[in-house]
A and B are shown apart, each in its own frame.
Chain A
Amino acid sequence: MYSEKVMDHFSNPRNVGEIENPSGVGTVGNAKCGDIMRMYLDIDEDTKIINECKFKTFGCGAAVATSSMATELVKGKTIYEALEVTNKAVMDALDGLPAVKVHCSLLAEEAIHAALWDYAEKHHIEIPGLKKPKNDIGDEEEEA
């Protein structure tokens, strides 16, 4: 059901863990629906480049794999470029996800946005195109 890349990122997830005193941290999802992702960013004050990105995830195989891939994709990007890491970009990088798991890639995108939002708020800056993240994308899906 999962691609080889998904299995690889699930079995050997990149960048698992926490960052002490992170530049930004964001948590999205909710335990009720079975997925929670937390992203930590370490951002260079001058260049605004994301030096380090770590995650912790409670969720299924796809949730872990999308978190892992998302951290890989944002590392080395500036906080402005990081917005290019959309759920589609994460899915493409993983060679696709089963339809029922697209939810997980949306959560990964949202986790990055939440961490960036936290950074922007702390530093009183604005990242063009970044909207205030939803706490849980599951809410929207249930309403839809």
Chain B
Amino acid sequence: MIYLDNAATTAVKPEVLEAMMPYFMENYSNPNSVYSFAQESHKVVDDARDTIAELLHAKGNEIYFTGGGSESDNWALKAAADAFSSKGKHIITSKIEHHAILHTCEFLEKHGFEVTYLDVDANGLVSPESLKTAIRPDTILVSIMFANNEIGTIEPIKELGAIAHEAGALFHTDAVQAFAHVPIDVQDMNIDMLSASGHKFHGPKGVGFLYLSNKVKIGSFVHGGAQERGRRAGTTNVPGVVGMAKAAKLAHENMEENIKKQIAVRNHLIDRISQEIPYAKLNGDPEKRLPNNVNFCFRFVEGESVLIMLDQKGICASSGSACTSGSLDPSHVLLAIGLPHEIAHGSIRMTISEETTMEDADYTVDSMKAIIDRLRSMSPLYEDFVKENK
């Protein structure tokens, strides 16, 4: 099997699982208990917090563990809106955010907030100028993703954060696809809040965190016990937190090398597909791009058909076509970068990991060529196109 869906989820690394194991059956204590048995779990959770904080250039008490990226996004937006509603009711985000942001914004709109959804350019970039134009005295929060999950475009976060701060607004970034993949410095990049998720970087599922700058005072989202300094109730997922921190640490130790390795394989995929498959268009910015992301639209074919045929060749990938989203519309990201519906239906995303080899890439391109050829030979759109261009 060639797994090219690492933006969906990743394999847990053996070292990560090993680090987690003691906290299921050996020391299963609740870190908030008083007896000495709980001291170890209390300590490893604190250590995990410090580890993650250090990687972001933050402080340990600015990291709050959550149940994942979607929870972190929901918390950041809803709690910030609630905390600052007396100052203003305007929020700015972009049209290509993850649904955890977009649907939360729609929820806030129903509760009296006004949301501006910034357009992006053809490569999926949010322009700092457009943020400058949209920002107002009553803007309380700007939330722009660090890197897009579908097309891999990396946004100009530092500049966008600076503009938000100049206007006195908070800056949140959904870094679910970026954290532990590319370097992030919350202080240098003007980030007040940042969401991340453990399973996107070879950690476990069901655990994530929200970085919340000490300067930001917002309330809790999950009410109940006093865990996470009273800001996120629920017994701490000790093995999950330990595993996530271990995975983050491993990723950062090898980051430079992993980035280089992945970019080489990524660019090989991009170059071969561009050169060898006609009517294929790369989506996303060619340079400002996640090292693991390849996304193409293949004209005259539909994404789900391609995915099934790739699966038959042992390759796991994903698509932004309507048929894979369960609606009649293809992905909102592909529409936002200006692709017509019929082209967006033919999108295929391949997200590699540092384990993906050049041989994997070659096998994938060879398979893809045969699949696209075959589906085009069956496509009435291709038939019409060929006749029109004779």
Contacts and interface: CB of A to CB of B under 8 A. Distances in A.
Interface residues of B, number: 24
Nearest to A101: B323
B381 A31 contact: yes
Given A56-B383, A58-B302, A59-B305, A16 B328 contact: no
B150 interface: no
Contact of A56 (B303, B342, B345, B380): B380
Interface string A43-63: 000000000000011111111
B380 A38 contact: yes
A100 B328 contact: no
Interface string B135-147: 0000000000000
Contact of B302 (A11, A63, A101): A63
B380 A32 contact: no
Given A11-B312, A56-B383, A61-B305, A34 B322 contact: yes
Q: Which of A13, A34, A35 has the most CB of B within 10 A?
A: A34
B380 A142 contact: no
Interface size bucket, A side? 20 to 34
Q: Which of B300, B323, B382 has the most CB of A within 10 A?
A: B323
Q: Which of B300, B341, B380, B382 has the most CB of A within 10 A?
A: B380
A138 interface: yes
A61 B323 CA distance: 9
A64 interface: yes
A100 B324 CA distance: 10
A87 interface: no
B304 interface: yes
A36 interface: yes
A10 B345 CA distance: 18
A18 B383 CA distance: 9
A101 B308 CA distance: 15
A33 interface: yes
B235 interface: no
Interface of B: 300-305, 308, 312, 321-323, 326, 328, 330, 341-342, 345, 377-383
Return the 8 tightest CB-CB contacts between A and B, nearest first: A31-B342, A60-B323, A60-B304, A38-B380, A32-B341, A34-B345, A56-B380, A58-B379
